[in-house]
């Protein structure tokens, strides 16, 4: 699933490894504590497959090239600072962008039904890029997640397991309540998608 996350972020703009790692954490939260040890091998695999390529016109490079000469001491000092910021370090010297082949791979991975919809990491990742899906596919993704949460909730209510003390009971109740909240949230997303579809059909 790391490849899907990388391609989804590069679909928006070229990025280097450090920025990719930062964006993964910002977009997907604690579920995606990606290390450089896993990120850079994934980038190399995608580059070898032709899904991504090194970008010569990354945002930092364009920024450095666009800094004009002002002729003033203060202006030149500011321009020099911007150029230093845009100069890649040894770790971040490569910025990557998605290729046409990578676009096709991204679409295939995003629309794929697997892994299981009860895999929270998979669902979170796909939902983060759901704007790239067609509306029927988005609704199908949400409905699969709803079915998985409904099954989890039914199982939790049927078999709570032995209650050793108030702490284990509280933990079981917390898990049930969390699943209920997630289910309500997904129901809201499905309702919003269906409302948008109906409004679009009547327009």
Checking if the pLDDT of 31 tops 70, the result is: no
The boundaries of the domain holding residue 6 are 2-63+88-111
Task: Assess if residue 16 is contained within a domain.
Answer: yes
179 and 95, same structural domain? no
Residue 28: closest CA among 47, 52, 51, 9: 9
Residue that is last in its domain, among 80, 111, 142: 111
The domain spanning residue 20 has which CATH number? 1.10.10.10
In a domain, 69, yes or no: no
Q: Rounded to whole angstroms, how far apart are CA atoms 179 and 199? A: 30
Whether residues 99 and 138 share a domain: the answer is: no
* 161/40: higher pLDDT: 40
100 and 38 both lie in a single domain: yes
| 176 contacts 156 by C-beta, under 8 angstroms | yes
Average pLDDT (58-79) is 54
Cα–Cα distances (Å) from 145 to 82, 109, 115, 161, 191, in that order, read: 45, 17, 11, 25, 14
Tokens in use for 36? 């450089």
Q: Is residue 78 part of a domain?
A: no
Q: How many domains does the chain have?
A: 2
* Model confidence at 73: pLDDT above 70: no
Residue with the bigger pLDDT between 197 and 191: it is 191
163 located within any domain = yes
Do 4 and 121 touch, CB atoms closer than 8 A? no
Clarify whether residues 10 and 96 are in a common domain.
yes
14 and 47 fall within a common domain: yes
Q: What is the mean pLDDT of residues 142-154?
A: 93
Flag whether the pTM goes above 0.75.
Answer: no
End-to-end, the C-alpha distance of the chain in Å comes to 37
92 and 57 together in one domain: yes
Cα 40 to Cα 35, 43, 141, 165: the distances in Å are 9, 5, 29, 46
Q: Looking at residue 35, what is its pLDDT? A: 81
> What does the alpha-carbon distance between residue 50 and residue 98 come to, in Å, rounded to a whole number?
9
């Amino acid at each position: 699933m790391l490849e899907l996350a990388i391609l989804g972020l590069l679909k928006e703009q070229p990025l280097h490894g450090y920025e990719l790692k930062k964006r993964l954490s910002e977009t997907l939260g604690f579920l995606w504590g990606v290390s450089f040890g896993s990120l850079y091998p994934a980038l190399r695999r995608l580059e070898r497959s032709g899904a991504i390529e090194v970008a010569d016109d990354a945002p930092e490079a364009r920024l450095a090239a666009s800094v004009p000469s002002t002729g003033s001491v203060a202006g030149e000092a500011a321009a020099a600072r911007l150029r230093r910021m845009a100069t890649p370090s040894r770790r971040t010297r490569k910025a990557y962008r998605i290729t046409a082949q990578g676009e096709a791979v991204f679409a295939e991975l995003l629309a794929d039904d697997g892994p299981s919809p009860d895999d929270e990491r998979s669902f979170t990742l796909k939902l983060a890029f759901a704007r790239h899906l067609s509306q029927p596919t988005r609704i199908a993704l949400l409905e699969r997640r709803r079915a998985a949460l409904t099954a989890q909730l039914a199982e939790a209510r049927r078999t709570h397991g032995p209650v050793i003390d108030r702490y284990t009971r509280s933990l079981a109740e917390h898990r049930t309540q969390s699943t209920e909240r997630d289910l309500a949230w997904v129901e809201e997303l499905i309702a919003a998608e269906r409302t948008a579809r109906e409004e679009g059909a009547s327009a």
